[in-house]
Amino acid sequence: MTEGHDEHDLQHHNGSSSVHRDRSGTVALHERHHRETGEHPLDHLLRPGRIPHIWCTGCGLGVVLTAYLNGIQKAGVDLDKVAIVSGIGCTGRIAGYINLDSFHTTHGRALPFATGLKLANPELKVSVISGDGDLFAIGGNHLIHAARRNVDMLVLCVNNFNYGMTGGQVAPTTPVTARTQTSPYGCWEHPFNLPYVAAASGAVYVARWTVLHARRLVESVAEAVRHPGFSFIEVISQCPTNFDRPNKGGEGIDLMHFYEKKTVVKNGIDPKEADIGLYTPIVCGKFVDQSKPTYDSCYTNMCTMARGGKK
Amino acid sequence: MKYWREPLDRGRCEVPKGKVTIIDKRCKGCRFCVEFCPRKVLEVSKGFNEKGYHPPEIARPDDCIACGFCELVCPDFAIFVDQQASCPPPAAKAPKTQEVGAH
Ligand SMILES: Cc1ncc(C[n+]2csc(CCOP(=O)(O)OP(=O)(O)O)c2C)c(N)n1
Ligand code: SF4
Ligand code: SF4
Ligand code: SF4
Ligand SMILES: [Mg+2]
């Protein structure tokens, strides 16, 4: 268990970073091409003509997208077998920017879509990338049951403490006292602690990072994609337009400095101890890493048995 | 670069060098790259891009150590780094390991 500020992410003096390591095959070729032509090395994984994205200045979602694209390459999986599913929201837009098989479902329904996708195509590596509102409000039931069943997928949940896309309404993640469009006197509801909900529901891999922990996030995505079963990563992100403005949290860069100063990395702790308040210190780390039979492997075995064969 | 303790192998360490490329027209001026570069290579430029933002400029190109953090933390795919051949740090002092051994 490690504690303390996460200087590792910022002070990387020995040169080689996750951006430059572990590249192989076509990815390396693509990248050399891009570097020689002055295009960004991730351009081949972004849908042509879709950048600039719609996200506001200072929003963390672009960092999450960059980290995911680096992490999925680092995981060393066949990119033709990767499928990305998202729901609706600013975060939900991520699927539409990635130049891999991706699907933008209806609000809250990313998980049932992804579960069906995985059951029908067990060879796929499925990632669900969506917002706190999409996954824990309208989609909350799907989340606890996908985790309970241990469906083999990565769920990357961007928590910006509100419904960003629709103008900043209160969400099940909004900290007590926070002002939003629908809590003008301050939110008085107790929020979910997302890693605790995921772990209690049965997730086998649970981690939380902020967008400033970009390096840790890349490593975590790579690890979680390879981990069989339901992996859950919460990424704390700023929403300078709709959440941090009414709460006087400042601009995107101010929130990045807040993450720099006010996060504590505590790997291995019980996620129960990782509650979040309004601009209170944020506990990050990998909280759960265990193994358990996956839903798809149990389902395949059950089908074989039902057909009269031995499993 | 200031260290709170001089690394023992500093004189022997090769420091990678990086070449930064900025895609001006993509930048939305968030300053993440400028403020979190560990070597303070970048500064906000005075000029505007076509969207009206001030993209960063490379103020101290020789100081870049190709750590790649600016590339990782940019939300807009507007900056990237190529690692160049490493070179020994210009101000490297004699390795302190010898002094330690002498006592
Ligand atoms: C069925 C349905 N109900 C409501 C909406 C309106 N709506 C769009 S996005 C959204 C919330 C998004 O919040 P979150 O998932 O946290 O994403 P963010 O924008 O914060 O990234 C809502 C309520 C909708 N599109 N569909
Ligand atoms: S509204 Fe918030 S979450 Fe949506 S793009 Fe703007 S800053 Fe990001
Ligand atoms: S690669 Fe590292 S040292 Fe070079 S400009 Fe980017 S953040 Fe600074
Ligand atoms: S991080 Fe990217 S978008 Fe932000 S100022 Fe630097 S180049 Fe511009
Ligand atoms: Mg949200």
- Is B20 a pocket residue for ligand 3 (Cβ < 6 Å)? yes
Q: Report yes or no for ipTM above 0.95.
A: no
Residue A111 in any domain: the answer is: yes
Query: Is A210 part of a structural domain of the chain?
Result: yes
Query: Which CATH number characterizes residue A151's domain?
Result: 3.40.50.970
Q: Can you tell me the distance from the alpha carbon of B57 to that of A213, in angstroms, rounded to the nearest whole number? A: 24
Question: Given the structure tokens 């390991």, which residue do they identify?
Answer: B97
What separation, in Å, do the N-terminal and C-terminal C-alpha atoms of chain A show? 39
Ligand 1 atom with least separation from CA of A134:
15
User: What is the rounded CA–CA span in Å between residue A268 and residue A266?
Assistant: 6
**CA end-to-end span of chain B, whole Å?**
28
**Residue A128 is assigned to a structural domain of this protein:** yes
Look up the domain containing A256 and give its range: 26-306
Could you list the pLDDT tens digit for every one of the 311 residues in chain A? 334 444 444 433 333 333 333 334 455 556 665 667 789 999 999 999 999 999 999 999 999 999 999 999 999 999 999 999 999 999 999 999 999 999 999 999 999 999 999 999 999 999 999 999 999 999 999 999 999 999 999 999 999 999 999 999 999 999 999 999 999 999 999 999 999 999 999 999 999 999 999 999 999 999 999 999 999 999 999 999 999 999 999 999 999 999 999 999 999 999 999 999 999 999 999 999 999 999 999 999 999 999 997 65
Centroid of ligand 3 to alpha carbon of B64 (angstroms): 5
Contact A69, A98 (CB under 8 A): yes
Please give the residue of chain B at the shortest CA–CA distance from A215. B72
- The answer to whether residues A295 and A286 touch, using CB atoms and an 8 Å cutoff, is no
At the second CATH level, the architecture of B26-81 is 2-Layer Sandwich (3.30)
The closest alpha carbon to B74, from A129, A69, A91, A13, belongs to A69
Task: Copy the structure tokens of residue A102.
Answer: 């991706």
Q: Tell me the angle at which helices A140-149 and A194-201 cross, rounded to the nearest 10 degrees.
A: 40
Q: Is the CB of A5 inside 8 Å of chain B's CB atoms?
A: no
